[in-house]
């Protein structure tokens, strides 16, 4: 069972997925305003197929982050995303708690 | 993030060492610092800050947006002695966010009935600790009054650099204990780290009140602990 990472530990999952030859992106909450559901430093890990573990919100914006992660995996260029009520797209994907968050998405290279 | 950075971070986390990952958001580069590593002088203050607070920071330093993410091992309390105070402490500690373990070789004290839902090790500290070593994110509270049980884990805690080492007993008891530990080769400065009489001075009388005083003292030690970060000379 040593090869099975704790699925609640996104950083362990990221390493295991990479070892398995999967392309991996790591998303990190770097800033929050208002009532953000997940604290700064929280991680979401995404593979090239759109599988994911962890969270950057209460399930509100994960879909959008996963879509952006696919581009980051392809290009290798990190992205800085912002979600919040001020942003119509973000409202649509649903950070309905009224908070705003910034999420940094990067590829695991090596 | 480079795979090697992720691996270094995961190794540190698995071995209960604190780590800070500094990400340059404009360049997309990351570096991991494990507690005890040398660090660039201009990053020493923010890294030290996040290690203390446990809260990540986004900062602009020399016109660069830098994200300091911090990964601290979950703090834990190891109580030596399955006594009345430990029973109260075992209920309070999880509320404050601490993992808790109780070690006592006296099987009449260390019973599952008295310590429901707590990690309980009914064995001598000498036998338990080699397999479950103490570390910098562990607080050790020696609560048996019995040198045969307390002295070994106190020495082990000082050696391991536990962020808190406390021992139950009066000033007189502690004076005798200090002398004993020094005879056993523990340095005077190390012995001086032991908090005794144990707990913040709030006039605690009952075992539950003493447990509150001990927990408060442990929280104070965690938030104000020394962070081991040698400043970097060159580079």
Smallest CA–CA distance from A78 into chain B, residue: B28
pLDDT over 50 at B95, yes or no: yes
Give the chain A residue whose CA is nearest to the CA of B71.
A41
> What domains does chain B contain, in order, with CATH numbers?
3-71 (no CATH), 76-223 (3.40.50.720)
Q: Is B7 on the interface with A (CB under 8 A)?
A: yes
| Mean pLDDT over each residue of chain B, to the nearest integer | 92
CB contact under 8 A, A11 and B6: yes
**pLDDT for residue B234 is more than 70:** no
Q: Which positions in chain B touch A28 (Cβ < 8 Å)?
A: 23, 67, 69
Task: Say yes or no to pLDDT of A83 above 60.
Answer: yes
Please check the confidence at residue A110 and state whether its pLDDT lies above 90. no
Residue range A52-58: mean pLDDT, rounded = 90
Shortest Cα distance, chain A CAs vs residue B22, angstroms: 11
Rounded to the nearest angstrom, the gap between the alpha carbon of residue A49 and the centroid of all alpha carbons in its chain is: 14
pLDDT of the residue at A1: 38
Report how far residue B167's alpha carbon sits from residue B177's, in angstroms, rounded to the nearest whole number.
Answer: 9
What does the alpha-carbon distance between residue B28 and residue B174 come to, in Å, rounded to a whole number? 54
B32-84 tens-digit pLDDT: 999 888 888 889 999 989 988 889 999 999 899 999 999 998 899 999 999 99
Looking at the complex, report in whole angstroms how far the Cα of residue B11 sits from the nearest Cα belonging to chain A. Answer: 10
- Taking CB atoms within 8 Å and a gap of at least 24, the contacts of B183-190 are B184/B151, B184/B155, B186/B155, B186/B158, B190/B158
Q: Which residues are CB-neighbours of A104 under 8 A, at least 6 positions away? A: A27, A28, A30, A78, A79, A80, A81, B23, B25, B67
Contact flag A41-B56 (C-beta cutoff 8 Å): yes
CA distance A104 to A73: 13
Q: In Å, how far is B8's CA from the nearest CA of chain A?
A: 11
What pLDDT is recorded for position A8? Answer: 81
How confident is residue A108, by pLDDT bands cut at 50, 70 and 90? Answer: very high
Tell me how far apart the alpha carbons of residues B109 and A39 are, in angstroms, rounded to a whole number.
41
pLDDT for B235: 34
Q: Which helix (H) or strand (E) segment is A15 a member of?
A: helix A10-19
Could you say which of B25, B55, B70 has the minimum Cβ distance to residue A80?
B25
Spatial separation of the C-alpha atoms in residues B204 and B190, rounded to whole Å: 26
For residue B72 the two structure tokens come to 């601290």
Higher pLDDT pick, A92 / B206: B206
Q: In the predicted model, is pLDDT for residue A61 greater than 90? A: no
pLDDT of residue A2: 43
Q: What is the pLDDT averaged over residues B199-222? A: 96
Mean pLDDT of the region B192-212: 96
The per-residue pLDDT for B233 is 43
Stretch B148-164: mean pLDDT: 96
Domain boundaries, chain A: 10-107
């Amino acid at each position: 069972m040593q090869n099975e990472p704790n699925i609640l530990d996104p950083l362990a999952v990221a390493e295991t997925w990479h070892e398995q030859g999967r392309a991996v992106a790591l998303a990190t909450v770097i800033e929050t305003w208002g009532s953000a559901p997940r604290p700064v430093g929280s991680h979401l890990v995404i593979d090239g197929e759109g599988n994911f573990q962890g969270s950057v919100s209460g399930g509100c914006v994960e879909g959008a982050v996963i879509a952006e992660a696919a581009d980051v995996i392809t290009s290798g260029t990190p992205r800085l995303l912002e979600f919040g009520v001020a942003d119509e797209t973000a409202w649509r994907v649903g950070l309905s708690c009224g908070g705003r968050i910034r999420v940094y998405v990067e590829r695991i290279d090596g | 993030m480079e795979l090697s950075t992720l691996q270094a971070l995961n190794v540190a986390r698995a071995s209960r060492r604190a780590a800070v990952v500094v990400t340059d958001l404009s360049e997309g580069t990351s570096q991991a610092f494990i507690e005890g590593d040398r660090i660039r002088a201009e990053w020493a203050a923010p890294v030290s800050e996040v290690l203390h607070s446990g809260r990540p920071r986004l900062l602009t330093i020399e016109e660069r947006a830098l994200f300091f993410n911090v990964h601290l091992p979950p703090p834990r309390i190891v109580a030596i002695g399955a006594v009345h105070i430990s029973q109260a402490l075992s209920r309070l500690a999880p509320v404050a966010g601490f993992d808790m373990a109780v070690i006592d070789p006296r099987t009449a004290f260390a019973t599952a009935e008295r310590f429901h839902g707590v990690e309980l090790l009914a064995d001598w500290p000498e036998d338990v600790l080699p397999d479950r070593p103490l570390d910098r994110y562990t607080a050790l509270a020696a609560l048996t009054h019995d040198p045969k049980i307390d002295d070994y884990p106190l020495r082990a805690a000082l050696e391991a650099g536990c962020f808190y080492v406390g021992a139950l007993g009066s000033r007189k008891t502690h004076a005798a204990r200090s002398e004993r530990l020094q005879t056993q080769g523990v340095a005077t400065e190390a012995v001086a780290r032991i908090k005794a009489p144990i707990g913040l001075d709030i006039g605690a009388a009952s075992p539950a009140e003493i447990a509150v005083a001990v927990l408060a003292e442990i929280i104070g030690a965690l938030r104000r602990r020394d962070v081991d970060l040698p400043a970097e000379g060159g580079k």
